């Protein structure tokens, strides 16, 4: 039996945090960006395509 059966190396602990906690924090932010992108009107449909084209030039 191991002397410290429930101990975990620091690298494994950090990798566990990075693989479980960070996606749980990043996913709602990405979902909010998707919703914001869906809420912005399309310039072609709204009739502002010419203005957008001029802004790019």
pLDDT at 54: 60
Give Cα separations from 16 to 9, 10, 21, 26, 27 (angstroms): 11, 10, 8, 16, 17
> Can you give 22-37 as a three-state secondary structure string?
HHHHHHHHHHHHHHHH
DSSP, residue by residue, the chain: --TTTT---HHHHHHHHHHHHHHHHHHHHHHHHHHHHHHSPPHHHHT-HHHHHHHH-
Q: For 33-38, what is the mean pLDDT?
A: 85
pLDDT band of 14, cuts 50, 70, 90: confident
pLDDT at 30: 92
């Amino acid at each position: 039996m191991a002397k410290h059966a429930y101990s975990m190396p620091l690298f494994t602990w950090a990798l566990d945090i990075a693989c479980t906690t960070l996606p749980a924090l990043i996913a709602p932010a990405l979902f909010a960006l998707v919703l914001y992108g869906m809420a912005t009107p399309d310039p072609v449909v709204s009739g502002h395509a010419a203005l957008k084209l001029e802004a790019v030039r």
